[in-house]
Amino acid sequence: MHIFYGKAPLTAYLKSIKTTNSSIGFVPTMGALHQGHLALMKKSLLENDFTVVSIFVNPTQFNNPEDLAKYPRTLDADVEKMTALNPEIILYAPTVDDIYEGETVSKSFDFDGLENQMEGKFRPGHFNGVGTIVKRLFEIVEPTNAYFGEKDFQQLQIVKKMVSKTNLKVNVIGCPIFREANNLAMSSRNERLSTEEREKAAIIFQTLTVAKEKFKTKSAKWVTEWVQKSFENNPLFDLEYFVIADEATLLPCSTKNKNKKYRAFIAIFVNNIRLIDTISLN
Mark residues 34-63: x for contact with ligand PAF by CB under 6 A, - for none. ------------------------x--x--
Query: Is 30 a binder of ligand PAF (CB under 6 A)?
Result: yes
- Whether 37 is catalytic is yes
**Nearest CB to ligand PAF, comparing residues 128 and 155:** 155
DSSP 166-178: S----EEEEEPPP
DSSP 200-252: HTHHHHHHHHHHHHHHTTS-HHHHHHHHHHHHHT-TTEEEEEEEEEETTT-PB
Distance (Å, whole) CA 78 – CA 19: 29
Question: At its nearest, how many Å lie between ligand PAF and the CB of residue 129?
Answer: 8
Segment 59 to 78, residues that bind ligand PAF, using CB under 6 A: 61
**Nearest CB to ligand PAF, comparing residues 64 and 282:** 64
Distance (Å, whole) CA 210 – CA 223: 9
Cβ atoms of residues 93 and 67 within 8 Å: no
Question: At its nearest, how many Å lie between ligand PAF and the CB of residue 152?
Answer: 5
Query: Is 133 a binder of ligand PAF (CB under 6 A)?
Result: yes
Distance (Å, whole) CA 18 – CA 142: 10
Angle formed by the axes of helices 126-141 and 153-165, nearest 10°: 60
**Nearest CB to ligand PAF, comparing residues 53 and 243:** 53
The residue among 154, 104, 110 whose CA lies nearest residue 263 is 154
Which of 115, 152, 180, 277 forms a contact with ligand PAF (CB under 6 A)?
152
Which of 14, 24, 29, 48 forms a contact with ligand PAF (CB under 6 A)?
29
The site for ligand PAF (CB under 6 A) is made up of: 28-30, 58, 61, 130, 133-134, 152, 155
